[in-house]
Structure 1
Amino acid sequence: MKNIVVLVSGGGTNLQALIDAEKSGIIKSGKITTVISSNPNAYALERAKNNNIDTDVIRRKDFDTFDEYDTALSELLKSKGADLVVLAGFMTILGHKVISAFENRIINIHPALIPSFCGEGFYGLKVHEEALKKGVKISGATTHFVTEECDGGPIIMQKSVEVKNDDTPEILQRRIMENVEWKILPLSVELFCSGKIKVEDNKTIISE
């Protein structure tokens, strides 16, 4: 049974999807043991407490340098015994120490079909605004391992939805969350925890 540590900053809807997936048996090879927030007021912390999950807070602004923060977060994750780290709306950049300590053990979900609408500056509603501006006919979300290249790590899963003529960024965001993010993130976590993901040449090979 793998220890899953989830990093959050806000409302925690993706965290809730993971909690629900664990309860329903979709995630059966791992357990969410800790939720760590960059924001002490994040509602995600309440979701964790309501489900008897250990919580912690680490804020970038409490450290003089990014290097000190990077070290502290790396040590915190190690102290929690994290086998897998999941970014569920974590709005603080991860540094070299965290990424190297947990190579191919950090999963992020991005609200677009990578390599479209990704990289530096593409987060939240901005992603959906740009997709609509471009006039794409489908969009979706991608789970991937985190590397030092923003949104550039090995892709684990992707799923798409139709973009409709009257979509707003908010409507498209909601459709992608409900139909894609809340489904493929738990599935990707279970694939990792059950040992079914192998990484070769920045690509994932998923076994049945």
Structure 2
Amino acid sequence: MLESTGAAVREPLRVVVMVSGGGTNLQAIIDGVKDGTITNTQIVGVISNNKNAYALKRAEENGISSRCVSPKDFETRGDFNVKLLETVDGYEPDLVVLAGFLVVIPPEMIEKYENRMINIHPSLIPSFCGKGYYGLKVHEAALERGVKVVGATVHFVDEGTDTGPIILQKAVEVQQGDTPEILQRRVMEQAEWKILPRAIDLIANGKVRVDDHKTMIMP
């Protein structure tokens, strides 16, 4: 029998991960939960808009419930939005993680999960972000501009594109001879796969507060 210490006991954070492709960031979260980098957290579901997404295979291999909700299967975007929100709600998540989910999030879902939905973006916001900046396009733009430092950002999701309160950022150096593909991989390895698990762990342990559209990381 556990003795009471007077401290509040936190229930594990229920996380749903939404992803469209291979799911490397999903894998980083799965690994983080397994190795204890992410504490007090349970991945309760994975949702993809792409039935062929390897992320769904990763979920299956790790015993995580998964669903595919594709706009292609609905007559209208409105019908899809209703089903997507219904599917998310069905997992009763405390936190929704967008880990490369290339579908516009319904406004109703953004409102319902305010400060409970986060996104990983492969740049140091506010650089190379917003409409049209996703995937390799971000790294192509960075190399074309000739910047010397890139990186990744984890932020809360609001009604804008990449405009929500920033939680964590990590810089990565650009190297001579980089291609968009090489740079993308380095940003993933050195930034994305580190700060996304870290952000989830901070949230799971009650250490992130949003105040006036800015985040405070508590000690």
The answer to whether TM tops 0.5 is yes
Q: What corresponds to 1:198 in structure 2?
A: 209
Whole-angstrom CA distance in 2 between matches of 1:87 and 1:190:
15
Please identify runs of 4+ aligned residues in structure 1 that moved more than 4 A: none
- Does the 8 Å contact 1:74/1:101 carry over to 2? no
- The 3-state SS of whatever aligns with 1:205 is strand
Matches within 5 A, 1:30-109: 30-109=41-120
Q: What corresponds to 1:20 in structure 2?
A: 31
- Does the 8 Å contact 1:95/1:148 carry over to 2? no
Whole-angstrom CA distance in 1 between matches of 2:148 and 2:21:
29
Larger radius of gyration: 2
Q: What corresponds to 2:177 in structure 1?
A: 166
1:110-136 Cα shifts (integer Å, max 9, x gaps)? 000000000000000000010011111
**Superposition CA RMSD, Å:** 0.8
Whole-angstrom CA distance in 1 between matches of 2:79 and 2:213:
29
- The 3-state SS of whatever aligns with 2:93 is coil
Q: Percent identity?
A: 56
Instruction: Measure how far apart 1:100 and its partner are.
Output: 0.7
Q: What corresponds to 2:13 in structure 1?
A: 2
Whole-angstrom CA distance in 2 between matches of 1:72 and 1:132:
39
TM-score of the pair, normalised by structure 2: 0.93
Q: How many residues align?
A: 208
1:56-95 Cα shifts (integer Å, max 9, x gaps)? 1101122222222222211211111111000111111101
Structure 2 residue identity aligned to 1:114: I
Whole-angstrom CA distance in 2 between matches of 1:183 and 1:135:
25
- The 3-state SS of whatever aligns with 2:209 is strand
- Does the 8 Å contact 1:83/1:105 carry over to 2? yes
Q: What corresponds to 1:156 in structure 2?
A: 167
Structure 1 residue identity aligned to 2:121: H
Whole-angstrom CA distance in 2 between matches of 1:76 and 1:164:
42
- Does the 8 Å contact 1:11/1:44 carry over to 2? yes
- Does the 8 Å contact 1:11/1:43 carry over to 2? yes
Structure 1 residue ranges without an equivalent (≥5): none
Structure 1 residue identity aligned to 2:78: D
